[in-house]
Amino acid sequence: MYTQALDSPGGAAAADAHERERLERFQERIDRDEKIEPKDWMPEAYRQTLIRQIAQHAHSEVVGMLPEGNWITRAPSLRRKVVLIAKVQDEGGHGMYLYSAAETLGVSRGELIEQLLSGRAKYSSIFNYPTLTWADIGAIGWLVDGAAIMNQIPLCRCSYGPYARAMVRICKEESFHQRQGYEIMLTLSRGSAAQRAMAQDALDRWWWPSLMMFGPSDAHSVHTAQSMRWKIKRFSNDELRQKFIDVTVPQAEFLGLAVPDPDLRWDESAQHYVPGPIDWSEFHAVLKGEGPCNRERLEARHAAHEAGRWVREAAAAFAEKHQEPLRAAQAG
């Protein structure tokens, strides 16, 4: 990074010393828990790490609308339907907050969308699983949003201001998502034998993918150490996963459902649940594009992007024609 500085007279040594000093001062700001704002100097690696993480997060929110959107027309009651529409709309809004936060780092919205559509950008592996029954909508709200909350609450204290502020907003909204999901599971688990079986089946299919949402175990996580030093991350993947397991297992017990892990046991001395081994080959396969719905999800994003093209063009043409600013709105 900053290789152009090496061409300047005075040579590499002076540039290196200057760079080292800036890095040290930056780290001191982080250590003092100061927030970094868009116009502040930051190391290029810090900027790139954040762009990658925030963009992945934004893409996950947007792609995350697809599995749940699948059930809007088939929600079992009007109440469930308006709730699901509101939730899916929230996910779209979360994507917008996050794209905006990423853009403060100097990447354009167009580039970010292009990276998603071309398959170069990643999004959370969880959204490559299908929603086969209505109970899946309950399981997603309860487990997937529950895991997301676990991940996101520490991000509200992230060192980068715009990301932290977006996360505060998202976390406030996310709690409703998890509760509506648990309510669906509760209704099904107190229902007929067929409904209980449907709830159990959903838990069976979503449990392990939800645990994988926290990412590879600490020993194999490439970015964790540096991200913790920069206070982008506050807890390691395994710590967050453990917290999630500890709060979720009793919730499953309350529903009368069985967590699909024969090795799961309570460790009295550690005061933690100890899960069985996670099948990481599945996680890596889904990340590589071999999950059940990877292709379908990207196709749906492409279709939406193309179907919306004429709307964007028409709006741009209209704006071009009516350049007059909206005075009424400015009067506020």
Residue 236 C-beta-side C-alpha neighbours within 13 Å? 13
List 18, 21, 41, 284, residue binding other proteins (CB under 8 A): 41
For the stretch 200-230, what's the b/e string if a residue is b when 16 or more beta carbons lie within 10 angstroms of its beta carbon? bbbbebbbbbbbbbbbbeeeebeebeebeeb
Measured CA to CA, the distance from residue 89 to residue 83 in angstroms comes to: 10
CB of 33 to other proteins, least distance (A): 17
In angstroms, the Cα distances linking 143 to 6, 11, 97, 289 are: 51, 55, 23, 22
DSSP 34: P
List 21, 40, 253, 279, residue binding other proteins (CB under 8 A): 40
DSSP 154: H
Q: Per-residue x/- marks for other proteins, 166-195, CB under 8 A? A: x--x---x----------------------
Stretch that binds other proteins, among 4-12, 34-42, 56-64, 282-290 (CB under 8 A): 34-42
Is residue 164 within 8 A of residue 230, CB to CB? The reply is: no
List 35, 122, 165, 243, residue binding other proteins (CB under 8 A): 165
Under rule CB under 8 A, residue 310 binds other proteins: no
Measured CA to CA, the distance from residue 232 to residue 325 in angstroms comes to: 39
Structure tokens, 28: 């001191």
CB of 93 to other proteins, least distance (A): 5
Residue 172 or 190: the one with the smaller Cβ distance to other proteins is 172
Residue 80 or 94: the one with the smaller Cβ distance to other proteins is 94
Residue 158 C-beta-side C-alpha neighbours within 13 Å? 24
Interface residues for other proteins in 81-120 (CB under 8 A)? 86, 89-90, 93, 96-97, 100, 103, 108-110, 114
Structure tokens, 276: 């069985």
Size, binding site for other proteins by CB under 8 A:
32
In terms of Cα–Cα distance, which of 141, 39, 125 is closest to 80? Answer: 141
CB of 32 to other proteins, least distance (A): 15
CB of 18 to other proteins, least distance (A): 15
Binding site for other proteins (CB under 8 A): 37, 39-41, 86, 89-90, 93, 96-97, 100, 103, 108-110, 114, 165-166, 169, 173, 309, 312, 315-316, 318-319, 322, 325-326, 329-330, 332
